[in-house]
Chain A
Amino acid sequence: MITLSDIQKKILQCSQNDNLEIIISLRAFLLDMPDCPYFLFTSENYSPLIQENQKYTLDFYRKKNESNIRKISLKPIDVHLMPKNKKNSLIELIDGILKNNNIIDVLVFDAIRSNPYCEDELFEFIKLNMQNIDENIYKKYKLRNDDLRNIVSKTSFSNKIYFSTYDIAKKNKIKEYWKNLWGLPEKYFEEDVISNIILK
């Protein structure tokens, strides 16, 4: 059985060996978002990376993250079953490492793509850096953000503390619906209706 200190050691080893990708993947699993795309903006020209990353399916990210954590002998199920307090202490450790490596401000998780109940971090980043981002990309992510607000407002779960199994199943259904809408790469390359009209 792998203990908490074993995992902490592995995380620190990855940090020393500059294997930050493994740590980022582990963070995705710890936050229960194994198919979460992420963007590490190392150059000021952000558009090519966004365009590149949106080409991939959520399944691609899941497999990538899974293969990364397997490199440190962790299985997805073990991370999933880990108690919350252990998960929290590992997330804290990882975030500290990312901060020390000065990448916390240029690392953006696009959790929204698979879960409409998360924060739209990528759109916030795009808004902040509009001068370095292609206008079409801004428009696309603005459209996604509008859709997001729409779906969340229509399927609100009045300020509940405890979610019944029925509520969770309903949330899962909405997530599936959202994934079919904005989880697929095709959606990010579709021309919008107005462009089609202009082209014709």
Chain B
Amino acid sequence: MKAYLTFVRQKNNQDLSFLGIQNPENISEALPFKLISGQPIISIVKDKNLIALYLIDANSELFQVYGEEDFLFMLRYLEDYSNINLPKYNSIKQILLDSFSCLSIKEFEAYDKEMKKFEDKIFYELLHTDLNYIRIQNHISKEIKKLSIDSIVLDRMAHSCKMSKQLTLKQMRKKVDVNLSGYGIHINAFIS
């Protein structure tokens, strides 16, 4: 039995995978939880099967949504496979935050579905690749131009995307926060 901290990659809630690890044979068990690409999760796998799934909230707290027992109590190490994709994850997140920052509150409401689909697509296409910051930024900029939204909003977003400044090395390596207090488990981050 092993615990993994990884990112989700999914398309249309069907093509689901956990980045960096071999997919559990019963990964479809995670489909009802409507995970989105780029979302960090903790999965517990035993004999190639997913036996528990934990979601991580904005305050880094864990929410077990699948599994009959809290298996994190039984393990010593949490294998951190999110590390491999961290610089890309933090870069994509920052560029998207900057791109969305030009929207008004009304526009946020109006384009909710479209933008969430767009964000999911960006993480799906970029998180597992080897692209650097500039190429990620260019790709996002191109994808923004394909959006079928008001052209003024689109231009604004494309401009904000281009203006997004590259993160520092420290910022790029900012880890996914997971509050493991209460558990005796340690994070094993030395995985390449």
Contact = CB atoms under 8 A, between A and B. Distances in A.
Interface in A108-145: none
Interface residues on B, range: 20 to 34
Nearest to B107: A173
A8 interface: no
A161 B105 contact: no
B101 A172 contact: yes
Contacts, number: 71
B97 A172 contact: yes
A162 B178 CA distance: 13
Interface string A71-91: 000000100010111001000
6 contacts: A77-B170, A81-B170, A162-B56, A169-B101, A170-B105, A173-B103
A84 B101 CA distance: 26
Contact of A166 (B60, B96, B174): B96
B55 A161 contact: yes
A36 B51 CA distance: 42
B84 interface: no
B115 A84 contact: no
B106 to A, nearest CB: 10
Nearest to B40: A162
Interface of B: 36, 38-39, 55-60, 63, 92-93, 96-97, 100-101, 103-105, 108, 112, 115-116, 119, 168, 170-171, 174-175, 177-181
Given A88-B179, A165-B119, A173 B104 contact: yes
B55 A162 contact: yes
A168 B178 contact: no
A169 B57 CA distance: 16
Interface string A88-114: 100000000000000000000000000
Contacts of A164: 36, 38-39, 116, 119
A63 B74 CA distance: 45
A174 interface: yes
B174 A81 contact: yes
A84 B59 CA distance: 9
A163 B175 CA distance: 17
Contact of B105 (A84, A162, A165, A174): A174
B139 to A, nearest CB: 15
Interface residues of A, number: 20
A77 B167 CA distance: 12
Contacts of A166: 96, 100, 108, 112, 115-116, 119
Nearest to A157: B58
Contact of B63 (A81, A155, A161, A168): A161
A84 B60 contact: yes
Given A161-B57, A166-B100, A173 B105 contact: yes
A119 to B, nearest CB: 14
A118 B175 CA distance: 24
A88 B56 CA distance: 16
A56 interface: no
Contacts of A168: 58, 97
A168 B38 CA distance: 14
Given A81-B171, A170-B100, A173-B104, 17 more contacts: A81-B174, A83-B175, A83-B177, A88-B179, A155-B105, A161-B63, A162-B55, A162-B57, A163-B57, A163-B58, A164-B119, A166-B112, A168-B58, A169-B96, A169-B108, A172-B101, A173-B101
